[in-house]
Chains A and B, each alone.
Chain A
């Protein structure tokens, strides 16, 4: 069957180990934080619907919905949470520093209307990064999450050339103090993983958690395949735009409040 299913099976034991280690670590170090995040997830109806012991499959399609009208210009709560979650630090070289999420300020040329939104990997169903990757290191998991297998990435950067969202970063230097749940490697390419380890443990991405915790509520995480999920309900009621929808990539990240 599909490569992605195979990959999921092969990776599951390692992922389980990492997940359990992460959970154990979090409970030990910050039990309050864990309870807080689980409570947030449960209350917002975003919690993963995939049973913990079930393999990743295309029954789920994880996605994010961003309401640009609620996203405040200058607010970087989601970016800060992402950096913390993934151990991204600035080396004082903004051109080579890795950024998984960036805040983009938009000004409509015809009206002067300003808005702001977080831009990250759009987790395309037919991802150009995965198409062009010579070794298959860039791949889209069965549940729609675009990832990089750091073990077989050769650092050719063709995926960065191909990504229409400029969502990827190359690790330009040695990596220190890595997070257990977010492995990185010098000379390889990386991007938003939608906090895949959190999702596999029934949690929500760090950016969504931070945005919700600060009561901005500009981001919703959930299962696009589940018609009763918050994200599906919100999309059904107000619609959602895909950035560069002309490329027909069927992105997992959608936006509301952007003028057509």
Chain B
């Protein structure tokens, strides 16, 4: 493979400025939502004392999980020395940082006291996995930032394998930390499972790669640069493995719960009687996010169709959001079992399934995080050289005919 040439976007077209403007508008709407929620108090959201984490957290956790996974391509190139992924490593690392930034901003702006960020950064309870996550997120910026530097500056290029290795290890720890936010919760029937950490890691692989593929295909289509089938189909096959793995972990999680009588209640709720949650699980998470993409990825008739691959990635993203929604919201909606063997009732909604309707400001805040991610990527592509001039088969494929 010859030396890779990189380029930046020209970024002078009305379409480019239209994109930035549209994303900025969404971010402004999100900011307005934050001011509204913080000024009025959280009672204007759909969140309550029963459903304490809502739509902002679904977006934030999705973006943070995807951030770690977006680094996949770079890791495979640097750590596992697969040459074909090498040209895309810069974009992969950029997207990872941007996704994490978008997710963290949503998480921060939903706090009851976002003005106390400095307290979150200076007071640490080291028994809290949340506190560890603050360190892991900050470290991720540092490690991936350093990794990007070694990729883009020839003076420090020799350190790239080390930077890539540490970034790889760090992202595994980071997603372990994110999954453990739920895995370490003993209080609620749907959580408290060691499987959460590895399941979140495999989720990150899937969601992150789906987003990476969409960004990659859009960048090359909109700039009329060449993106060959070899690269795309390699990523497509990898995506299939990840989607199947997420389905596998989901199956094991539910089978384990179904085996234990004490979890039959929550499983019946999630799989059969949870109303909207059950629908989101079967239709959103399993069908749209798992089975259909899996069939389409390996269907011979649409192998080289970019539009189909775009659809597959979009479905995986919808499925991913559905999965986080099911874990997060349905897990809180199911009543806590404080008194096994009793029917309970109270003024504080004991014994009943808690309802949740996301409010517009919450959704706008979440979309603001997505917009911020895309804004960072679009802007960075203009100011620095992240994109290979060509990813045609003859350039990217080490086995192509010379």
Contact = CB atoms under 8 A, between A and B. Distances in A.
Contacts of A109: 341-343
B344 A161 contact: no
Contact of A135 (B42, B120, B346, B348): B120
Given A135-B123, A152-B119, A186-B41, A104 B131 contact: no
B155 to A, nearest CB: 38
Interface in B5-49: 38, 40-43, 48-49
Contacts of A98: 49
Interface residues of B, number: 47
A14 B112 CA distance: 25
Contacts of A244: 338
B130 A132 contact: yes
Contacts of B162: none
A105 B261 CA distance: 25
A172 interface: yes
Contacts, number: 165
Contacts of B40: 173
Size class of the A contact interface (CB-based, 8 Å): 35 or more
Where chain B touches its partner, the secondary structure class is loop
B348 A166 contact: yes
A171 to B, nearest CB: 7
Given A109-B343, A186-B41, A187-B42, A136 B111 contact: no
Contacts of B184: 132
B111 A164 contact: no
B275 to A, nearest CB: 18
A229 B140 CA distance: 54
B125 A136 contact: yes
Given A98-B49, A110-B341, A161-B185, A93 B128 contact: no
Which of A106, A109, A130 lies at the interface centre, i.e. has the most chain B CB atoms within 10 A of its CB?
Answer: A106
Given A95-B49, A102-B350, A132-B128, A170 B112 contact: yes
B344 A106 contact: yes
B254 interface: no
B116 A166 contact: no
By Cβ-Cβ distance, the 3 closest A-B pairs, closest first, are A155-B112, A187-B112, A173-B41
18 contacts: A96-B48, A102-B348, A102-B350, A104-B345, A104-B350, A107-B344, A110-B341, A119-B348, A134-B123, A135-B124, A153-B113, A161-B185, A161-B188, A165-B338, A166-B336, A171-B41, A172-B41, A187-B113
